[in-house]
C-alpha cells in the first residue's frame, strides 16, 4: 500500500483526506493554509521545498487572549509610534527556506502587517504592523493558523549579547595579531637589529596594541583559571593562563629593557586562535535552542473569575483560593481543586499515561495536565512556582551532578602542569651551573613554549566537529560535555512507550466473527468520522485490506473516551470499549475496541503497540552495554521485548515516573554511568538524573525540559552507531594530544637549550595550532 | 626612513578602520543570521519578476 502524503505538511493522509484539485491534505488545517497561500499568490511556498508546511493547530481565539491585557502585550512590543508597532516573536516551528518565504510574505495575507523579517538562526521574526486595525493577539492567531504558533515563554535576554562578545574579542585579537606581524616583519628576516630606533618604536607600538588583547580578549581564560584555583582544582585554562602570563610578561620586559619586540605577535596570535576555537564550538550548537523550559509550555496568562466577571491575569499573580477558568486544550497552571462537575485531563506530560483521567467535582488536580473537553472552573490550591510539576523539574536541575570530576582534559592538565613545573625546575637547576644569569629567561621560555595551545584547541575542534556530524545524523547534543560523558556510559535505560514503540500508531488485530464487505465498509466510514487515535488505527488497518468507503452516516454519536456509534445503510454500528458496548472485558491487560452490529457482538479490535523499525538490530549492536527497560504500561508487551533484548537485560513494568527516577538513582549509586533514552515528556525526572538523558522526538522542535540531547525518532535505530561516533572523539583527541606533545617536546628542547628566539616561537606556535585544527577536522570527516 | 613610519601609521589607521567597521557590523546584527539573507535574495528576484510580468500584461491590455 502506498500511503498518500499531505501536500502541505507531508504527513500520511489517513482516511479519505481532504482534497483541492488533485492535492491531498491530511487535515482541514493543512487544506486551509494551502487555500490561504494560493489565494494570496504564495504558491511558490511549495516549489521551494516539498511538503514544507507545518501542520497547524486548532487555534482558538482564547489561546492568545492574554495578549489583549496591556501589561502583558507591552512586554512583547519592542517599539511603537502613533500608527505602527514592532514586535519580535519566537517561532520555534521555523525550519526551512519555505518557512522564510511564507513568513516574509505575511503582508500579502494580512494587509495590516507592514513587514516581517525572519532570523532563521534564532527562529525569530520581527513584525511591524498597524496597531490601530490589528492587535498582537490577532497576529498571534494568524501565525498559529498557518502553523507557526508564537512562543511567548520567557526567553533569556543574555543570549545575543554573549554571542557578540565573542566576535568583539575575536576582532580585537585579530587586529592586534595582524598589525604586530606586519611591523615585526624585519624581525623575521633577521633585520631587527639593523635599525634600533625603528625597532624600539615598533616594540612600543606592539606593547600598546597588546594591552586590549590581554585585558579584554583573554579575560575569559583568567577568570576560568581563577575560578578553578579557588575551588582547588585544575582545568586546562590554568596552564594556558600561566603560559599567556609568562609570554606577556617576558615580552613586556624585553620591550622595556630595549631587547626587541619579544613574543607579542605569538601572544596575540595565540589568543586569536584560541578564540576562533571557542567561537566555532559556540556556533555549532547555537542553532539548537534548549532554552525552552517548562515556563514556555505553561500558559503565560490565565482567566481568573473575580466577582463573576472574567479577567485575564499572569500566572505569577494567582493567589491561593482564586477561581480560574481553563478551556479545552489548555494546561492546568497550578495545583487546584475542581469546581465543575467533571473533567477529563491528559497527564501524558507528567505521568506518561496516554489515556486521559476522569476527575470529578472536589477532586485535587495537579498542574501540568492538559484539559480535554469542556471548560472547567478550578480553585487554586498552590501558587504556580511551588506546584507539583515545577518541583519535580526543579529538583532535577539541582540534582544533576556536575560531571566535571572526570573531565578528560582537566585530569590531563593536572599531569601536564606537574610535568612542566618539574621540567622548569630541573632546567633552572641545570642552568644555575651553566650560566646563572640566564635562569629566569630559560624558565620563562619553558613556560611559554609549553603552553598547551594545541591541546587547548584540539578539544573544542574535535568536539565541535563531532557535534556537527551527530547533528547531521539526527542526534542533537546540548553541549560538548555530553560527548565526554557518553564515553563513560555503562548502562542504557529505555523507556517503552514513545521510545521503543511508536508514539501514536498501533498494530491492530481483529478477533471475532468474519465480517462481510458491506460491514467492513460501514466500519470504515464510522471510524473515519472520528479523530481518536484508535479510530485512526482502525482506518489504517482496514485500508490495508483495500477497504474504503464514503457512505453517509446517520445518527453519528461520539462518546468521548468510550466509543462511537452510527447507522450506515441500515447497519447500526457501535465501536468502543467494553462498557460502551455492554460487554465484559476479556483481558484486562489488553487495549481493545468491541464491535456491535445491529446490537449483536461481532468481535473486537485488539491493539498492540508497534516497535520502531530497527529496534531489535539496535539491541544486538548495543551488546557492550547493560540494557534496561522501564515501562509505565502494563506488561502486555513483555514477550515482545524479551525476544529482542539480551538475556541479562532488566525489564520492569508499571513504573511510575518516581520509580524510574529512583531506579536510575540506584544504578548511579552502584557506580554505573547511565544513559537514559525516553520521550522527554513523561520521564523528565529520569532523563534529568541520568548521566546522559536523550529525548526521542518526532520533531526536533519539541519541548524537552531536562534532556542532554535530542534524537530524531526515526534515527533511534542508529543509536549504537551514534554512540560509537561519540566514542571516536576520544581517539581523535588522543591523536591530537600526541601531536601537541611532540610539538611541545621540540619547543621545550629549544627552550631548555636557551635557543628559543622570537622567530622560533612565532613559527612553532601557529603551526602547532593550525595542524591540530586540521587534524581534528579531517579525522572526524574521515570517520563519516 | 621617515616614509616607513608614515606607512606604518597609515597601515595601522587602515587596520583600525576595519576593526571599527567590524564592530559596527557586529553591533548591527550583520553576523546574527547567516542563513536567511542568502535565501531571501532569491525570493526578491522571484517576486519582482512576477510583478514585472503583471505590469507587462496590463500594458498589453
**pLDDT value for A680:** 59
Query: Looking at the 3D structure of chain A, how many domains does it have?
Result: 3
Q: What is the CATH number of the domain that holds A646?
A: 3.40.50.1000
Tally of domains in chain B: 1
What is the model's pLDDT at position A408? 62
What are the residue ranges of helices labelled H in A44-157? 44-48, 70-76, 97-104, 106-109, 136-145
On average, the pLDDT of chain A sits at 76
Write the residue in A121, A167, A175 that is nearest to B15 by C-beta. Answer: A175
CB A6 within 8 A of CB A24: yes
pLDDT value of position A505: 52
C-alpha grid cell, residue A485: 560523558
* A321 phi/psi in degrees, rounded to 5: 80, 0
Are A565 and A617 contained in the same domain?
no
- CB-based contact A119 B39, cutoff 8 Å: no
What pLDDT score was predicted for residue B2? 82
Residue A485 forms part of a structural domain: yes
Instruction: Please tell me the predicted confidence (pLDDT) of residue A175.
Output: 94
Q: Same domain, yes or no, for A542 and A662?
A: no
Distances (CA, A) of A159 to A163, A496, A695: 6, 36, 24
- Let me know: does A339 contact A290? Beta carbons within 8 Å: no
| Residue with the larger pLDDT of the pair B53 and A612 | A612
- Per-residue cell: A432: 644555575
Q: Residue B21: give the domain boundaries.
A: 2-60
Q: Which of A453, A481, A454 is nearest to A285 (CA)?
A: A481
Residues of chain B with Cβ-Cβ distance to A175 below 8 Å are 15-16, 18-19
How do residues A186-232 score in pLDDT, each as one tens digit? 887 877 777 888 888 889 999 999 999 999 998 988 988 888 888 77
User: Do residues B38 and A48 touch, judged by C-beta distance below 8 A?
Assistant: no
Which helix (H) or strand (E) segment is A292 a member of?
none
The per-residue pLDDT for range B12-49, each reduced to its tens digit, is 999 999 999 999 998 887 887 777 787 777 765 544 44
**Contacts of residue A107 in chain B, CB cutoff 8 Å?**
none
Q: Could you give the count of Cα atoms lying within 13 Å of A622 in the half-sphere of its Cβ?
A: 30
Q: Supply angle C-alpha A503, A508, A512, rounded to 5.
A: 155
Q: Is residue A242 one of the residues assigned to a domain?
A: yes
Residues A509-534: tens digit of each pLDDT: 787 888 888 888 888 878 776 656 67
The better pLDDT of the pair A696, A478 is held by: A696
Both A590 and A497 in a single domain? no
Which of B35, B41, B53 is the best substitution to test chain A (most A C-beta atoms within 10 A)?
B35
Contact B33 A122 (CB under 8 A): yes
- The whole-number pLDDT of residue A204 equals 92
Claim to verify: residue A169 and residue A276 sit in the same structural domain: yes
pTM of the model: 0.59
User: Exposed, middle or buried: residue A377 (CB in 10 Å: 0-12, 13-18, 19+)?
Assistant: middle
Residue A256 in domain: yes
pLDDT value, residue A1: 37
Give contacts of A179 with chain B, Cβ < 8 Å: 11-12, 15
- At CB < 8 A and 24+ separation, what contacts does A133-138 make? A134/A110, A135/A67, A135/A68, A135/A73, A136/A67, A136/A73, A136/A76, A136/A77, A136/A85, A136/A87, A137/A64, A137/A65, A137/A67, A137/A68, A137/A73
Between A347 and A572, the more confident residue is A572
Task: For strands A674-678 and A692-697, give the pairing.
Answer: parallel
CA A373 to chain centre: 31
Q: What is the CATH number of the domain that holds A576?
A: 3.40.1110.10
Average pLDDT over residues A587-604: 76
Q: Which residues of A133-160 are buried (b: 16+ CB within 10 A; e: fewer)?
A: ebbbbbbbbbbbbbbbbbbbbebeeeee
Phi and psi at residue A93, to the nearest 5°: -80, -10
Quote the domain boundaries for residue A642: 474-501+612-726
> SS3 of A758, please?
helix
Q: State residue A288's pLDDT score.
A: 44
pLDDT, tens digit, 9 for 90 and up, residues A79-120:
888 888 888 888 777 766 777 778 888 887 788 888 888 887
Tell me how far the alpha carbon of residue A378 is from its chain's centroid.
Answer: 33
Number of A–B residue contacts, CB under 8 Å: 64
Residues A492, A627 within the same domain:
yes
Count other C-beta atoms under 10 Å from residue A43's C-beta.
11
Q: Which of B4, B18, B33 sits opposite A121 (nearest CB)?
A: B33
**CB neighbour list of residue A554: distance below 8 Å, 6 or more residues apart:** A566, A567, A568
Question: CB pairs under 8 A, 24+ apart, for A218-223?
Answer: A218/A173, A218/A244, A218/A271, A220/A169, A220/A278, A221/A274
Distance in angstroms (rounded) separating the CA atoms of residues A29 and A146: 8
* Claim to verify: residue A484 and residue A541 sit in the same structural domain: no
Task: Tell me if A493 sits within 8 A of A667, measured CB to CB.
Answer: yes
Cβ contacts of residue A98 below 8 Å, gap of 6+? A45, A46, A48, A49, A52, A53
**B:5-44 residues touching chain A, CB 8 A cutoff:** 5, 8, 11-12, 15-16, 18-19, 22-23, 26-27, 31-36, 39-40, 43
3-state secondary structure of A239: helix
Taking the Cβ of residue A164 and every Cβ of chain B, the question of whether any pair is shorter than 8 Å is answered with yes
Residue B33 and residue A120: Cβ atoms within 8 Å? yes
The backbone torsions φ and ψ at residue A656, rounded to the nearest 5 degrees and listed phi first, read: -80, 160
The torsion angle over the Cα atoms of residues A395, A396, A401 and A402, rounded to 10 degrees, is -100
CA distances from A531 to A50, A168, A293, A639 (A): 26, 54, 30, 31
* C-alpha–C-alpha distance, residues A445 and A441, integer Å: 6
More confident site: A343 or B11: B11
Report the share of chain A in percent with pLDDT over 90. Answer: 4
- pLDDT at position A16 is 63
Residue A10 predicted with pLDDT over 90: no
The answer as to whether A679 is a domain residue is yes
Same domain, A277 and A163: yes
Q: Residue A55 has what pLDDT?
A: 63
On whether residue A587 sits in a domain, the answer given is yes
Are A272 and A168 contained in the same domain?
A: yes
One domain for residues A511 and A482: no
**Residue A259 pLDDT:** 80
* Same-domain check for residues A538 and A672: no
Read off the pLDDT band of A633 (50, 70, 90).
Answer: low
**A180 in Cβ contact with A234 (< 8 Å):** no
| A121·B15 Cβ contact <8 A | no
Cα dihedral sign, A661-A663-A669-A671 = negative
Same domain? For A716 and A616 the reply is: yes
CA distance A268 to chain B (A): 15
Locate the chain A residue with the closest alpha carbon to B27: A164
A619 and A552 in a common domain: no
pLDDT, one tens digit per residue, over A439-481 is 877 887 787 777 676 777 777 777 777 877 887 777 777 767 7
The pairing of beta strand A650-652 with beta strand A674-678: unpaired
**B21 vs A contacts (CB less than 8 Å):** none
- Give the whole-angstrom CA distance, residue A62 versus residue A672: 48
- pLDDT digit string (tens) for A351-405? 545 566 778 888 888 777 777 767 788 888 877 654 555 554 444 443 344 444 3
Amino acid at each position: 500500500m502506498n500511503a498518500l502524503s499531505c501536500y502541505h505538511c507531508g504527513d500520511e493522509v489517513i482516511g479519505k483526506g481532504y482534497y483541492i484539485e488533485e492535492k491531498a491534505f491530511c487535515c482541514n488545517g493543512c487544506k486551509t493554509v494551502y487555500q490561504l497561500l494560493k489565494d494570496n499568490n504564495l504558491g511558490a511556498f511549495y516549489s521551494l521545498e516539498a511538503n514544507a508546511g507545518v501542520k497547524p493547530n486548532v487555534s482558538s481565539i482564547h489561546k492568545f487572549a492574554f495578549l489583549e491585557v496591556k501589561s502583558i502585550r507591552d512586554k512583547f512590543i519592542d517599539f511603537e509610534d502613533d500608527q505602527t508597532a514592532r514586535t519580535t516573536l519566537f517561532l520555534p516551528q521555523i525550519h526551512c527556506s519555505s518557512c522564510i518565504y511564507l513568513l516574509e510574505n505575511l503582508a500579502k495575507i494580512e494587509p495590516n502587517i507592514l513587514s516581517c523579517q525572519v532570523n532563521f538562526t534564532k527562529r525569530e521574526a520581527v513584525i511591524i504592523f498597524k496597531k490601530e486595525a490589528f492587535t498582537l493577539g490577532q497576529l498571534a492567531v494568524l501565525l498559529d493558523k498557518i502553523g507557526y504558533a508564537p512562543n511567548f515563554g520567557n526567553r533569556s535576554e543574555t543570549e545575543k549579547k554573549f554571542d557578540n562578545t565573542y566576535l568583539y574579542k575575536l576582532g580585537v585579537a585579530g587586529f592586534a595579531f595582524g598589525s604586530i606581524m606586519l611591523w615585526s616583519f624585519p624581525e623575521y628576516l633577521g633585520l631587527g637589529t639593523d635599525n634600533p630606533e625603528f625597532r624600539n618604536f615598533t616594540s612600543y607600538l606592539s606593547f600598546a596594541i597588546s594591552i586590549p588583547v590581554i585585558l579584554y580578549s583573554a579575560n575569559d581564560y583568567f577568570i576560568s583559571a581563577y575560578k578553578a584555583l579557588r575551588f582547588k582544582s585544575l582545568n586546562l585554562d590554568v596552564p594556558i593562563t600561566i603560559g599567556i602570563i609568562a609570554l606577556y610578561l617576558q615580552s613586556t620586559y624585553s620591550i622595556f629593557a630595549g631587547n626587541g619586540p619579544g613574543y607579542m605577535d605569538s601572544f596575540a596570535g595565540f589568543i586569536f586562535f584560541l578564540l576562533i576555537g571557542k567561537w566555532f564550538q559556540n556556533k555549532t550548537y547555537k542553532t539548537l535552542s534548549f532554552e525552552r523550559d517548562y515556563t514556555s509550555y505553561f500558559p503565560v496568562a490565565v482567566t481568573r473569575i473575580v466577582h463573576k466577571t472574567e479577567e485575564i491575569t499572569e500566572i505569577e499573580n494567582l493567589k491561593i483560593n482564586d477561581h480560574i477558568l481553563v478551556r479545552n486544550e489548555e494546561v492546568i497552571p497550578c495545583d487546584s481543586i475542581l469546581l465543575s462537575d467533571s473533567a477529563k485531563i491528559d497527564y501524558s506530560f507528567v505521568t506518561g499515561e496516554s489515556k486521559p483521567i476522569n476527575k470529578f467535582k472536589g477532586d485535587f488536580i495537579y498542574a501540568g495536565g492538559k484539559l480535554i473537553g469542556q471548560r472547567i472552573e478550578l480553585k487554586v490550591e498552590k501558587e504556580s512556582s511551588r506546584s507539583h510539576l515545577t518541583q519535580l523539574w526543579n529538583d532535577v536541575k539541582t540534582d544533576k551532578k556536575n560531571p566535571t570530576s572526570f573531565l578528560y582534559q582537566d585530569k590531563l592538565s593536572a599531569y601536564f602542569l606537574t610535568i612542566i613545573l618539574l621540567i622548569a625546575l630541573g632546567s633552572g637547576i641545570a642552568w644555575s651551573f651553566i650560566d646563572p644569569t640566564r635562569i629566569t629567561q630559560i624558565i620563562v621560555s619553558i613556560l611559554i613554549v609549553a603552553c598547551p595551545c594545541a591541546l587547548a584547541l584540539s578539544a573544542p575542534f574535535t568536539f565541535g566537529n563531532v557535534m556537527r556530524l551527530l547533528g547531521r545524523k539526527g542526534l542533537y547534543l546540548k553541549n560538548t560535555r555530553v560527548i565526554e560523558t557518553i564515553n563513560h556510559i555503562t548502562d542504557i535505560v529505555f523507556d517503552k512507550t514513545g521510545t521503543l514503540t511508536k508514539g501514536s500508531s498501533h498494530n491492530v488485530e481483529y478477533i471475532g466473527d468474519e465480517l462481510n464487505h458491506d460491514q467492513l465498509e460501514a466500519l470504515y466510514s464510522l471510524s473515519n468520522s472520528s479523530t481518536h487515535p484508535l479510530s485512526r488505527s482502525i482506518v489504517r488497518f482496514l485500508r490495508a485490506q483495500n477497504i474504503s468507503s464514503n457512505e453517509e452516516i446517520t445518527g453519528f454519536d461520539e462518546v468521548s473516551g468510550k466509543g462511537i456509534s452510527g447507522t450506515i445503510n441500515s447497519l447500526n454500528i457501535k465501536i468502543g470499549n467494553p462498557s460502551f458496548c455492554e460487554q465484559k472485558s476479556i483481558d484486562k491487560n489488553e487495549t481493545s475496541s468491541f464491535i456491535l452490529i445491529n446490537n449483536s457482538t461481532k468481535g473486537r479490535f485488539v491493539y498492540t503497540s508497534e516497535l520502531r523499525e530497527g529496534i531489535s538490530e539496535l539491541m544486538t549492536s548495543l551488546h557492550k552495554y547493560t540494557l534496561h527497560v522501564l515501562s509505565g504500561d502494563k506488561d502486555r508487551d513483555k514477550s515482545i521485548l524479551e525476544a529482542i533484548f539480551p538475556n541479562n537485560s532488566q525489564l520492569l513494568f508499571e513504573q511510575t515516573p518516581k520509580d524510574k527516577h529512583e531506579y536510575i538513582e540506584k544504578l548511579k549509586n552502584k557506580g554505573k554511568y547511565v544513559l537514559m533514552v525516553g520521550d522527554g515528556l513523561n520521564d523528565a525526572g529520569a532523563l534529568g538524573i541520568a548521566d546522559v538523558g536523550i529525548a526521542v522526538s518526532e520533531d526536533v522542535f519539541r519541548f524537552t525540559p531536562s534532556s542532554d540531547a535530542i534524537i530524531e525518532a526515526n534515527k533511534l535505530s542508529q543509536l549504537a552507531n551514534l554512540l560509537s561516533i561519540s566514542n571516536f572523539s576520544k581517539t581523535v583527541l588522543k591523536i591530537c594530544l600526541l601531536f601537541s606533545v611532540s610539538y611541545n617536546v621540540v619547543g621545550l628542547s629549544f627552550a631548555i637549550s636557551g635557543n628559543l628566539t622570537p622567530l622560533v616561537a612565532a613559527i612553532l606556535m601557529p603551526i602547532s595550532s593550525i595542524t591540530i585544527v586540521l587534524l581534528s577536522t579531517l579525522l572526524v570527516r574521515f570517520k563519516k | 626612513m621617515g616614509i616607513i613610519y608614515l606607512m606604518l601609521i597609515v597601515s595601522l589607521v587602515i587596520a583600525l578602520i576595519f576593526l571599527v567597521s567590524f564592530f559596527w557590523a557586529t553591533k548591527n546584527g550583520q553576523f546574527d543570521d547567516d542563513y536567511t539573507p542568502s535565501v531571501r535574495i532569491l525570493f526578491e528576484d522571484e517576486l519582482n519578476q512576477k510583478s514585472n510580468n503583471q505590469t507587462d500584461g496590463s500594458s498589453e491590455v
